Amino acid sequence: MPAEPVLAGRCVLITGGAKRLGAATARRMHGAGASIVVHYRHSAAEARALVAELEAVRPGSAHAVCADLLDIAALPGLVAAAVQRFGRLDVLVNNASTFYPTPVGSITPAQFEDLIGTNLRAPLFLSQAAAPALRETGGLIINMVDIHAKRPLKSHPVYSSAKAGLVMLTRSLARELGPEIRVNGIAPGPVMWPEHPMDETLKGEIVGKTALKRTGSPDDIARTALFFAADAPYVTGQIIAVDGGRDI
């Protein structure tokens, strides 16, 4: 008989899961047998399309849930929706992120609250809400960090600071939530360019600073997430840079 998929029977909740890195992670985890809860806020059409794609492969294996991650009171409901639909929660991927420039001379309180809220506060409080369900399954939290948590990105001081905080949060949660729950992070490098326009010369300079002299793919991130979920039972509190050697 063929071997059972490595994540068969498990449930994975992915924030910002409707497109880009979140969607790639959803497809990879689903391909390994997991049921997927796709969180979205504004990308309803993309979320519905992804769920339909996954359900066409394995009926009853995907679900979409809308929530504002900046609304802390709504976060327990996101976890409850996953548990109600699939009976358990095994992996939380804190993937949702807000990214835009905030030159130091023009940072507004609203921008600060948005960037810190999405990139740091939401992962903390969603992890808090998910912890009871994850303890029951010996679960895993994966935080999407950024290589700029260690090396600040020009004109992005708030974003870089939020991701630096997420690195420490990842390590702190690993200590606080162990031994039942593992907590790890992924720090993407030049894998996907921002959705807003970006200078082509700058892109070339960034790629030129990687050891591999090329961009990565969303699936490089997704495969790392799957490694944490399926092949790393003794790994916690770690950040893996998936950056083509940009950080060396």
Q: Is 40 a catalytic residue?
A: no
- Chain segment 190-206, per-residue pLDDT in tens: 888 777 777 788 788 88
- Chain segment 84-94, per-residue pLDDT in tens: 999 999 999 99
Instruction: Note whether residue 6 is domain-resident.
Output: no
Instruction: Note whether residue 194 is domain-resident.
Output: yes
pLDDT, average across residues 69-86: 98
* Helix or strand (DSSP H, E) at 210: none
Which residues, including other chains, have CB under 8 Å from residue 195's CB and lie 6 or more apart?
A: none
Instruction: Note whether residue 206 is domain-resident.
Output: yes
What residue type is assigned to position 143 of the chain?
N
The domain tally of the chain equals 1
Tell me: pLDDT of 9 over 80: yes
- Give residue 105's pLDDT: 93
Active-site pick, 40, 100, 159, 234: 159
Instruction: Note whether residue 3 is domain-resident.
Output: no
Task: Domain of residue 111: give its range.
Answer: 11-242
Q: Which CATH number covers residue 176?
A: 3.40.50.720
Instruction: Note whether residue 79 is domain-resident.
Output: yes
Instruction: Note whether residue 93 is domain-resident.
Output: yes
